[in-house]
């Protein structure tokens, strides 16, 4: 017996059905039913290979997509403000005594060390007073030393006590006269850069008259305000980025040095003071700076911008399920950095979301993942 050929049987049935079955059905007024019967007949007797090919064809019709996985990261919130800078130490020098200026030992813009003499006043009378006090102190010390070498019976205890007292008085008088002499020389209280002065030798300097400014510009302090909403996040030591308004390309890094304790009831802001190093004295006090502070925010899911879809209900992404169908996951956008979008959504790092090709998908639709 020859081998059974299902294809031949199928072909014969199709030919017979085409010739006879339509006539039978059409005569009864049912042409659509005739063609449906033919299709059902062809499908029923189709070989397994043909059915498998049709299944593959249906799979190939599923839209191709690329997949990616969301990541978790903290949202960095940036606070921007504008503030003015001042030197860490800045004072206007004055004098506690009056006198005629004998010498001015600085020029504007000069860097001086702590203790450097800046202005000397005429001090001849005070120098004489120091010499007198030194002689009196020496005489009192000789008296005390001489009494110590004598026997107790020779010098009374009263005399010894008076000699000791005289020595103490002489010491005090000497310190006072030296202090008065020292006041006639105005010295730099700390290392800094001197301001411009119009004083010259021979000028009379009255008590309290300004001499010049001196600034310790090795560190600049920038004061600015932040909104009440972020006031609780301000901590000493937080990094700060500052750049001059006139030279926005120059970035200077520093830290928060002090934080205010009260919210201004009118402006609803908090005063913050930051410090930035200025060892080369390049930055000048009084300059205006643009300041920004990076705050560590909440942890959020991060997805590519191309993965986000929009409709009337808002933003969402497609998440692929194990059976290669997709489901909608609503998201709320928190912030964006380049192509990375921080979102508030029910997403895990193990989820697979549609990166590209999600523009025309529907919930429950089967997709064909490509290489991610």
pLDDT in tens, 88-102: 999 999 998 999 999
Are the C-beta atoms of 292 and 80 separated by less than 8 Å? Answer: yes
Sign for the CA dihedral angle at 205, 200, 104, 197 comes to positive
Are the C-beta atoms of 205 and 103 separated by less than 8 Å? Answer: no
Are the C-beta atoms of 301 and 71 separated by less than 8 Å? Answer: yes
CATH classification number, 64-75+299-369, choose in 3.40.47.10, 3.90.1150.10, 3.40.50.300, 2.40.420.20: 2.40.420.20
Residue 219 tokens, joined: 């560190």
CA distances from 177 to 76, 172, 183, 323 (A): 63, 9, 10, 99
Cα separation, 372 vs 367, in Å, equals 14
Alpha helix locations (H) across 150-256? 157-182
Q: Distance between alpha carbon 53 and the CA centroid of its chain, in Å?
A: 60
Are the C-beta atoms of 316 and 329 separated by less than 8 Å? Answer: yes
Residues of the chain below pLDDT 70: 1-60, 152-153, 372
Residue 290: CA count within 13 A, CB half-sphere: 11
Cα separation, 266 vs 195, in Å, equals 37
Say how many C-beta atoms besides its own lie within 10 A of residue 170's C-beta.
Answer: 20
Are the C-beta atoms of 368 and 319 separated by less than 8 Å? Answer: no
Residues of the chain with CATH 2.40.420.20: 64-75+299-369
Residues of the chain with CATH 2.40.30.170: 80-84+215-297
Please, which residues have CB within 8 angstroms of residue 212's CB and are 6 or more apart in sequence? Answer: 92, 93, 106, 108, 118, 194, 195, 196, 197, 199
pLDDT at 337: 83
Alpha helix locations (H) across 2-150? 6-19, 21-26, 31-44, 48-60, 124-149
- CATH code for the structural domain at 80-84+215-297: 2.40.30.170
pLDDT at 20: 53
Task: Bin 255: left if φ > 0, else alpha if -120 < ψ < 50, else beta.
Answer: beta
pLDDT at 336: 85
Cα separation, 196 vs 55, in Å, equals 92
CA distances from 136 to 30, 146, 158, 172, 215 (A): 144, 15, 20, 11, 42
pLDDT at 49: 55
Residue 160: CA count within 13 A, CB half-sphere: 12
Please, which residues have CB within 8 angstroms of residue 313's CB and are 6 or more apart in sequence? Answer: 330
233, burial (CB in 10 Å: exposed 0-12, middle 13-18, buried 19+):
middle
Alpha helix locations (H) across 248-320? none
pLDDT at 294: 86
> Phi and psi dihedrals of 230, rounded to 5?
-110, 10
User: DSSP letters along 63-104, please?
Assistant: PEEEEE--EEEEEEEEEEEEEEEEEEEEEEE--SS-EEEEEE
Residue 197 tokens, joined: 């002065």
Cα separation, 280 vs 138, in Å, equals 50
């Amino acid at each position: 017996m020859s081998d059974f050929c299902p294809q031949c049987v199928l072909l014969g049935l199709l030919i017979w059905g085409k010739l006879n079955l339509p006539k039978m059905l059409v005569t009864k007024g049912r042409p659509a039913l005739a063609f449906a019967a033919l299709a059902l007949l062809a499908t029923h007797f189709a070989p397994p290979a043909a059915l498998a090919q049709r299944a593959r064809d249906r799979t190939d019709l599923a839209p191709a997509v690329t997949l990616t996985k969301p990541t978790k990261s903290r949202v960095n919130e940036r606070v921007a403000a504008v503030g003015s800078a001042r030197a860490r130490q800045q004072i206007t020098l004055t004098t506690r005594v009056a006198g005629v200026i004998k010498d001015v030992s600085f020029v504007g813009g000069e860097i001086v060390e702590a203790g450097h003499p800046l202005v000397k006043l005429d001090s001849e009378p005070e120098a004489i007073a120091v010499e007198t006090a030194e002689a009196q102190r020496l005489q009192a010390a000789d008296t005390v030393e001489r009494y110590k070498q004598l026997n107790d019976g020779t010098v009374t205890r009263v005399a010894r006590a008076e000699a000791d007292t005289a020595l103490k008085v002489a010491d005090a008088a000497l310190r006072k006269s030296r202090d008065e002499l020292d006041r006639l020389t105005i010295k730099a209280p700390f290392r800094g850069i001197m301001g411009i002065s119009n004083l010259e030798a021979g000028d009379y300097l009255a008590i309290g008259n300004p001499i010049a400014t001196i600034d310790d510009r090795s560190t600049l302090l920038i004061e600015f305000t932040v909104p009440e909403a972020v006031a609780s996040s301000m901590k000493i030591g937080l990094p700060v980025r500052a750049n001059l308004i006139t030279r926005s390309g120059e970035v200077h890094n520093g830290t928060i040095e002090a934080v205010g304790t009260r919210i201004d009831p009118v402006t609803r802001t908090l005063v913050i003071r930051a410090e930035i190093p200025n060892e080369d004295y390049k930055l000048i006090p009084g300059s205006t700076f643009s300041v920004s502070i990076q705050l560590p925010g909440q942890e959020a899911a991060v997805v590519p911008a191309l993965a986000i879809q929009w409709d009337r209900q808002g933003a969402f992404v497609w998440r692929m399920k194990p059976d290669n169908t997709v489901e909608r996951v609503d998201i709320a956008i928190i912030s964006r950095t380049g192509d990375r979008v921080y979102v508030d959504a029910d997403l895990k790092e193990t989820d697979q979301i549609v990166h590209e090709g999600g523009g025309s998908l529907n919930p429950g639709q089967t997709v064909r993942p490509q290489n991610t």
